[in-house]
Amino acid sequence: MLSKATQKVSAALKPAYEQMVELLPEESYLGIDETGHKNNGDKYWTWCFQTSHYTLFHIDKSRGSKVLFELLGKEYEGIIGCDFWGAYRKFFRLGSATVQYCMAHLIREIRFLAEHINSKLSRWGEKLLSWLRALFKTLHRSDELTATGFARRMIQIKRGFLSQVRKPPDHKLAKKLARRFKGRSAETYFRFLTAPHVEPTNNGTEREIRHTVIDRRITQGTRGDAGMRWCERIWTIIATCKKQNRNVFEFIHKSLIAHWTNNTYPELL
């Protein structure tokens, strides 16, 4: 009985969910992240697409770029905030999108280098961290500075960081990191300086996807396609209603009434 009731709600939420799927390619900025999902013991992936006014979850067998091409299309020209995972790099290389790689992930990688037993690598990593600390310190006190003063300071920090990262010590880990910042590739981490609506980190999307990780550990995943569709729809509705300060129960109730009476479904967009 519970399974049947769940599937009725899932069917009622389908129109609102599909409306968001159709709008994804039109968004100027998307925060994207992914985490594991179990379906009948098999490995799947929960993708999270976040905008300023809605959050969409999509469960897929693939963690590769084909998911991005299917949902966004090769012609997508917006900005994507994400980590350095290979699927995103391939999507940008073959498509039209631009990227803001997550500064928080970069800091974690550099902190690893700063704690390395190799003294030259460690010192280099510590110098890079000092520039990034200055960057976020300036970001957090931006309201205390004039627009001109803030822009000037951020440019100074950017130049200082790039000058340092492009002079790596003779170590394969340092050279590997330095290759990311050759030429115009450096802009993939500093896009937020010229696009005010873009976040420097992907922390917001990681917070959105966190509850799905908790759900996975408690429920041990799903057992079929119907369960996966239910999860991605209800997670999407809950996250979006929360973001819009709307009553989740009320939206589900209206969706069910519309589904049973063949009336117009409520919308979240």
Opening angle at CA 230, ends 228 and 233, nearest 5: 105
Q: pLDDT by residue (tens digit) across 55-89?
A: 999 999 999 999 999 999 999 999 999 999 999 99
**pTM of the predicted model as reported, rounded to 2 decimal places:** 0.93
Nearest to 137, CA basis, from 154, 159, 114? 154
Q: pLDDT by residue (tens digit) across 87-143?
A: 999 999 999 999 999 999 999 999 999 999 999 999 999 999 999 999 999 999 988
Instruction: Decide: 165 and 181 in contact? Cβ < 8 Å.
Output: yes
Q: What is the C-alpha to C-alpha distance for residues 219 and 77, in angstroms, rounded to an integer?
A: 37
SS3 at position 98: strand
SS3 at position 146: coil
Domain boundaries, the chain: 2-99+202-261, 103-186
Q: What are phi and psi of 254, to 5 degrees?
A: -65, -35
Instruction: Decide: 201 and 104 in contact? Cβ < 8 Å.
Output: yes
Q: What is the C-alpha to C-alpha distance for residues 196 and 11, in angstroms, rounded to an integer?
A: 38
Query: Model confidence at 218, in pLDDT bands (50, 70, 90)?
Result: very high
Top-level CATH class of 2-99+202-261? alpha beta
Instruction: Decide: 167 and 182 in contact? Cβ < 8 Å.
Output: no
**179-204 average pLDDT score:** 92
